[in-house]
Structure 1
Amino acid sequence: MKKVIVIGATGKIGKILSEKLSDEADFEIKAAFRNEDKKDFFEDRNIEFTILNLEDPVDKIAEAIEGADVVVFTAGSGGSTGPDKTLVVDLDGAVKSMEAAKKANVNRYVIVSAMKADNREMWDKSGIKPYYVAKHYADRVLKDIGLDYTIIRPGRLLDEDGTGKITTENPEKNKSVPREDVAAVIVEVLKNDNTIGKIVEFNQGDKEISEAIGNI
């Protein structure tokens, strides 16, 4: 059984992922989040949780994730904060969690990034350039830090029911994907070691998620 710690578990993807993993016999889930006031969601579902602030020192973050087999980073500063928090959470917070994973001997690390995070020409047009900059450089650090990584890059995120189907072969054909399907992709990534060292770009499509990820 793999012990998975989900950082940013109170976010939209984090909540869905936590529920999905809690229903999987092969995974033991621990939710990690900053605001203790949001613990009821996890207590109601008997999901283990820990309080983790990404602005804390690396050593303290390492203590929170010690004993896990996998770190999944779904945290983000959110659309209501400014570029300063994007820098602190989406970039430095992500990198600190990678350093903490190394310190705690947690070798498997999965991060939720964004499609076109490497396309600088698109950043200015996006209207959320600091977000893409943060994702780009967090991904670059992850590729070089020595963890068994997978970088998840969905397109525009939707708050609607998942279809259970995606495309990875031509993801820019469609522009969006439900968050529920992003969470399902992460579950399949955790089941498939063939995704280690890979960037998985996807949007909604016509192939079953298990098949699409199994053939990465």
Structure 2
Amino acid sequence: MKVVIVGGRSRIALLLTALLSRQGHTVVGTVRSERQGHNVVAAGGTPLVLDIETISVQALAESLSGADAVVFAAGAGYGSTTRQKEIIDRDGPILLANAAEKAAVNRYVLISSMGADYFDSGSADPFQIYLRLKSDADADLRARSLDWTIVRPSGLDDRPGSGRVRLGEGIGGGSIPRADVAALIARLLSEGIGIRHQFEVTSGAERIEDLVF
């Protein structure tokens, strides 16, 4: 299987790249410049230089040629402006969905955020704006006929993965290692499960390998 990860330099993306490549899959991770590609290579993937903020749907679709699945793992990040959040956190996933449809790549995993549908629409707080934009992107993907999965993690941290999680809707806060999010997505992709499911995920007691969708 060939997987293209938009936001290939993010920490979840690099962990996912390493897992999938060890399983024998081909992973391409997008980066903004040649010099950023070494992390993707070190994880076992192939870097692809493109700018999700400026690339056209047609050009992105051409970059997806031969792919079996796409993952959106990019994020504007802390300290970004509202416009940057709009371009990356909302418009980016929509752009990738449009390109995936054009390239006939049906499998799409979108990394979103816990609580994305529970935001204060009148707030100027950056996190509330972020949740609203994530919610918009999720809603767009749910309306498509792609084989989508929307993963909404709780607070992310860099603890070693436990291999155990809790899935559901409205499951509250908490935190989860990025390694466990990557392991969950690797299973979703490699086994072709979780299609047309949206769920929140945090650390828990259930083994990722035992999850039933």
TM over 0.5: yes
Q: Provide TM-score, normalisation by structure 2.
A: 0.92
Partner of 2:26: 28
Q: How far apart are residue 24 of structure 1 and its match?
A: 0.9
3-state SS of 1:6 partner: strand
Question: Whole-Å Cα distance in 2 between the matches of residues 175 and 122 of structure 1?
Answer: 23
State the Cα deviation string for residues 93-148 of structure 1 (Å, max 9, x = none).
11111100001110110000011111135995975112111110000110112211
Question: Whole-Å Cα distance in 2 between the matches of residues 176 and 115 of structure 1?
Answer: 10
Partner of 1:197: 196
Provide closer, same or farther for how the CA distance between residues 176 and 188 of structure 1 changes in structure 2, counting only shifts above 3 A: same
Q: In structure 2, give the amino acid aligned to 1:41.
A: N
Q: In structure 1, give the amino acid aligned to 2:41.
A: E
Partner of 1:50: 48
Provide closer, same or farther for how the CA distance between residues 16 and 46 of structure 1 changes in structure 2, counting only shifts above 3 A: closer
Provide closer, same or farther for how the CA distance between residues 191 and 40 of structure 1 changes in structure 2, counting only shifts above 3 A: closer
- Quick check: 1:99 aligned with 2:98? yes
Q: How far apart are residue 39 of structure 1 and its match?
A: 1.0
Question: Whole-Å Cα distance in 2 between the matches of residues 192 and 50 of structure 1?
Answer: 25
Correspondences of 1:1-216 after superposition (within 5 Å): 2-25=1-24, 27-55=25-53, 56-121=55-120, 124=123, 128-169=127-168, 172=171, 175-212=174-211, 215-216=212-213
Question: Whole-Å Cα distance in 1 between the matches of residues 121 and 166 of structure 2?
Answer: 21
Deviates more, 1:6-15 or 1:126-135: 126-135
State the Cα deviation string for residues 156-203 of structure 1 (Å, max 9, x = none).
111221111101147735511011111011011113434100012110
How many matched pairs? 212
Q: Provide TM-score, normalisation by structure 1.
A: 0.90
RMSD (CA atoms) = 2.0
For structure 1, the residue ranges without an aligned partner over 5 or more in a row are none
> Matched residues, percent identical?
32
Question: Whole-Å Cα distance in 2 between the matches of residues 138 and 174 of structure 1?
Answer: 21
